[in-house]
Amino acid sequence: MGAWSLLVLLFGCLAENDPIPLSGSKPLLERVEMDGNAVTVLAYDNRDRVRTYSSPMIFRRFHYDTSTRVRKEEVTLSPDSYRSYLPPGGERNWADPEIHGLSSYSEYMYNEMDRIDRISVYVPGEATDELRSLRRFEYGADGRVQRINLYNATAELQQYWTYAYDVSGNLIEEKYYALQEGEMQRMTQTEYAYDTHPNPYRVLSFSGNPGIVSNANNVVRVSVSALNPGVTAYPVQRFDYDYDPVSGYPVGSSSGEVFIYR
């Protein structure tokens, strides 16, 4: 996903942009570029709901009910996503449903509080579609996701994540657990710090996952602690942004991203 370039790319120079033109409402992220090339493209419907999310590796199409709730998400993966190595500067095949077909789809179900209760992931088959996994969501008294459980097709718990937030709703701690040799073990603990500016990726918050698409603000520090011998430790990473002087939204990042809005 293009958003995670904030977590994996080396620092670069901040990009300079003209102030974002405001049209009476908050800016909507339309495109993210690096080195003059698009790495993320979002398209909206006439109600400003994200209709498609496109990147070199993944294409996502969202279908809504009569409200703002997403009911179905279709995913297409690029053939490059299956490669173990791609030469630097090598030409990438953007994920395209017209060329590469449908890789999987997810169906969203909601609880009586109108929050996501579970997401079922299916892989298309010749005769019938195969249920691949199921995610179930648990919420705290504040309405925020406290835990996500991941089950396999036979309803066996395989992994889960727990979450803690600051007063602004930013994810500040994530603990990840996975089934290892028949026992659930804690694998990693990740801690985050933030700026005070609005997060452009929040237009994707409807997808339910806590973190970069749900945070109110932008990540400036990530610390991942490996809590299992089989997990690789990561150094602390820090990020910086250049902001639009009017809206406060980021227009460039120290990892080289340029944010373009509509």
Residue 79 clears pLDDT 90, i.e. is over it: no
How far apart CA 148 and CA 156 sit, in angstroms, is: 14
pLDDT at 126: 87
**In the chain, what percentage of residues exceed pLDDT 70?**
85
Residue 92 clears pLDDT 80, i.e. is over it: no
Backbone angles phi, psi at 234, to 5 degrees: -120, 140
Residue bearing the bigger pLDDT, 70 or 79: 70
pLDDT at 23: 39
Residue 4: count other Cβ atoms within 10 Å of its Cβ.
10
pLDDT at 17: 36
Residue 155 clears pLDDT 60, i.e. is over it: yes
The amino acid at residue 221 is R
pLDDT at 88: 53
What pLDDT, in 10s, does the model give residues 164-179?
Answer: 999 999 999 999 999 9
pLDDT at 91: 55
pLDDT at 100: 87
The predicted model gives 49-76 an average pLDDT of: 94
Residue bearing the bigger pLDDT, 151 or 14: 151
What pLDDT, in 10s, does the model give residues 177-193?
Answer: 999 989 999 999 999 99
Class of 2-261 in CATH: mainly beta
What pLDDT, in 10s, does the model give residues 195-237?
Answer: 999 999 999 999 999 999 999 999 999 999 988 887 877 889 9
Residue with tokens 């990726």: 201
Average the pLDDT over each of 15-19, 146-150, 159-163 and give the range with the smallest value. Answer: 15-19
Global pTM? 0.84
pLDDT at 229: 81
pLDDT at 83: 55
Backbone angles phi, psi at 191, to 5 degrees: -120, 145
Residue bearing the bigger pLDDT, 32 or 16: 32
Count of all residues that appear for the chain in the document: 262
Residue 133: count other Cβ atoms within 10 Å of its Cβ.
17
What pLDDT, in 10s, does the model give residues 231-261?
Answer: 877 889 999 999 999 999 999 999 999 999 9
Which one, of 51, 59, 67, lies nearest residue 2 by Cα? 59
Residue 46's pLDDT band, with cuts at 50, 70 and 90, is very high
pLDDT at 6: 36
Residue 241: count other Cβ atoms within 10 Å of its Cβ.
20
